[in-house]
């Protein structure tokens, strides 16, 4: 089934996933959706993998959204299947038990921006353009965009971007909080790796619990969110890593965490 549409490279505890359909700006067809889904589920159960970076192949695009050449061949039911699959896939990325960094290395439109939104941290190259352009095709963002964009940049800005379908460049994306950082394209992966390495120095269970607390806590009222945080904290208390962190501090050395 594989046409190498998804590449996976392991650098220590970091996995770099490359959407590899540069001839169509790394747009998602069914094959790429299924391969990414399979890979994410595999990574979920790889305790040795601490961070996932997602990038697009080539210099031009992160991902141009749904493959519109495939789309034109699909029946209405198949379009529904595509949307159902991509929405669930991006949700599984959002709730992956380890951080996901989107390396937005060029065009990220429609599902491309939605994929970046499902990540935890977004770093974009200066040539990046992002946008939820679906309304220009008389459809709406269907892979979480109507929900995640307003949660990230506020409802006013999100409505402006979705209603106009306009694209923003890297500088504006940074200014509105759509991305965390911007940089030259040739150092984008290095910047993402730097961020990933910092994360790799932390306790794996702590990161999993912090992500859980942020993701679930933000979707509720403060009191419930604080209760979720409290429970997430309790998970870290009986861990070997917590004792290792304190011991390393006392012994003035770097901690060695095992995720236990």
Is residue 111 within 8 Å of residue 59, measured between CB atoms?
A: no
Determine the interface stretch with ligand COA among 59-67, 97-105, 156-164, 221-229 (rule: CB under 6 A).
Answer: 59-67
Residue 114 touching ligand COA (CB under 6 A): no
Determine the interface stretch with ligand COA among 23-31, 36-44, 156-164, 232-240 (rule: CB under 6 A).
Answer: 23-31
Residue nearest ligand COA, Cβ-based: 110
Instruction: Name which of 58 and 259 has its Cβ closer to ligand COA.
Output: 58
Among 35, 114, 120, 134, binds ligand COA (CB under 6 A): 134
What does R_g of the chain's alpha carbons equal in angstroms? 19
Token duo for residue 90? 């991006």
Residue 140 touching ligand COA (CB under 6 A): no
Least distance in Å: CB of 109 to ligand COA? 4
Phi then psi for residue 177, to 5 deg, are 85, 15
Residue 68 touching ligand COA (CB under 6 A): yes
Residue 53 touching ligand COA (CB under 6 A): no
Determine the interface stretch with ligand COA among 6-14, 109-117, 178-186, 209-217 (rule: CB under 6 A).
Answer: 109-117
Residue 69 touching ligand COA (CB under 6 A): yes
Catalytic positions: 66, 111, 114, 134
- Write out the residues near ligand COA by the rule CB under 6 A: 24-25, 27, 64-69, 107, 109-111, 133-134, 137
């Amino acid at each position: 089934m594989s046409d190498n549409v998804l590449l996976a490279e392991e650098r220590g505890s970091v996995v770099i996933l490359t959407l590899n359909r540069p001839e169509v700006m790394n747009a998602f067809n069914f094959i790429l959706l299924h391969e990414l889904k399979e890979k994410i589920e595999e990574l979920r159960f790889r305790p040795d993998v601490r961070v996932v970076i997602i990038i697009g192949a080539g210099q031009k695009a992160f991902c141009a959204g749904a493959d519109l050449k495939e789309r034109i061949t699909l029946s209405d039911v198949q379009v529904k299947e595509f949307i159902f699959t991509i929405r669930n896939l991006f949700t599984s990325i959002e709730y992956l038990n380890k951080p996901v960094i989107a390396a937005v290395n060029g065009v990220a439109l429609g599902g491309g921006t939605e994929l970046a939104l499902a990540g935890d941290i977004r770093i974009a190259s200066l040539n990046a353009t992002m946008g939820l352009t679906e309304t220009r095709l008389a459809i709406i963002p269907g892979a979480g965009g109507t929900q995640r964009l307003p949660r990230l940049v506020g409802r006013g800005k999100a409505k402006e971007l979705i209603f106009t379908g306009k694209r923003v460049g890297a500088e504006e994306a940074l200014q509105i909080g759509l991305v965390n950082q911007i940089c030259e394209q040739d150092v984008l992966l290095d910047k993402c790796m730097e961020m990933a390495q910092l994360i790799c120095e932390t306790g794996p269970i702590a990161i999993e619990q912090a992500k859980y607390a942020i993701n679930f806590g933000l979707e509720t009222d403060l009191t419930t969110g604080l209760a979720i945080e409290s429970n997430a904290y309790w998970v870290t208390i009986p861990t070997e890593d917590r004792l290792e962190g304190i011991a390393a501090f006392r012994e003035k050395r770097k901690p060695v965490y095992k995720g236990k």
